[in-house]
Amino acid sequence: MKFFVDTADVNEIQELQDAGLIDGVTTNPSLIMKANRPMAEIIKEICAITEGPVSAEVAAVEYKEMMREADFLSKIADNVCIKVPLTLDGLKACKAITDDGRWVNVTLCFSANQALLAAKAGATFISPFIGRIDDIGIDGMELIAEIRTIYDNYDFETEILAASIRTINHVKQAAIIGADVATIPPATLKTLVKHPLTDKGIEQFLSDWKKTGQSIG
C-alpha cells in the first residue's frame, strides 16, 4: 500500500519524506487555506520534496475553466496530479487530462457508482472519503470494499486512494480491503508507529542497560 500525506504543510511533508514514509502528497483548498500561502508556491515546494504524485485541486466547477486551471497547475512541476471533483464537468476534464498523459485524482467520491464513472473516465486515482461517510452514520469502509470489488471485476487500472482518513484503524482496514493508497494526515501517520508495549520495552531495556555500567563504542 502506498502512503500519501494529506497536508499542505511543507515542513511536515519534509519530515515524513526524510523518514521514507511517503509516496506522494494530497492537498485540497481547505488545506491550502490553512497553510495561508500562495498555492503555486506551496505546490512547487512540495513537488521538489517528493517525486510522487502531488495532488493540486482545481477551484473551478465548469469544464473550460477547470482545463485552464489544470494547465496552469500542470506547468508547476512534472509530478503534479490534477484533482477534479466528481461531477460531469470534472469527469470530462479527467478524460481530457488523462488522454493528454497527465495524472488525475477524482475527489469527493461518496458512492460506488461514482467510482465506476471515474474509472471509465480514465482516472489515475479515485478518492472515496471514508471519514465524511462515517460522519453521517454510514460505514465508509464499506465503500472501499465495494469499489475494490467493482474495479477487480473489470480490471480497471484506476487506483483506490482512501481519503478522509481520521484514525489508524481506517488505515488498517483500508489496507486489509486492498486500497492501493491511503492519504493520511501527518498526525495520524505518526500515530501509526506508536505502541505502549514498544515504549514500555524501551524503558525497561534502558533501565537494565544503565545497571550494566557499560557504554557502546
**For residues 121 and 216, what is the distance between their CA atoms, to the nearest angstrom?**
59
Looking at the DSSP bridge assignments, the partners of residue 80 are: 54
Pairing between β-strand 80-85 and β-strand 54-57 as defined by DSSP bridges:
parallel
Cell readout for 114 is: 461514482
- Helix (H) / strand (E) element for 127: namely strand 125-128
For ligand E4P, the closer CB: 58 or 204: 58
Binding mask 95-114 for ligand E4P (x = CB under 6 A): ------------x-------
Q: CB 100 → ligand E4P: shortest distance, Å?
A: 22
> How many residues in the chain?
217
Q: CB 127 → ligand E4P: shortest distance, Å?
A: 5
Please report where in the chains the cell 521514507 appears, as a residue: 20
- Shortest Cβ contact with ligand E4P: which residue? 164
Binding mask 160-179 for ligand E4P (x = CB under 6 A): ---xx---------------
User: Within a 10 A sphere around the Cβ of 194, how many other Cβ atoms?
Assistant: 9
| 7 lies in the binding site for ligand E4P (CB under 6 A) | no
Interface positions with ligand E4P (CB under 6 A): 6, 26, 28, 107, 127, 129, 131-132, 163-164, 183
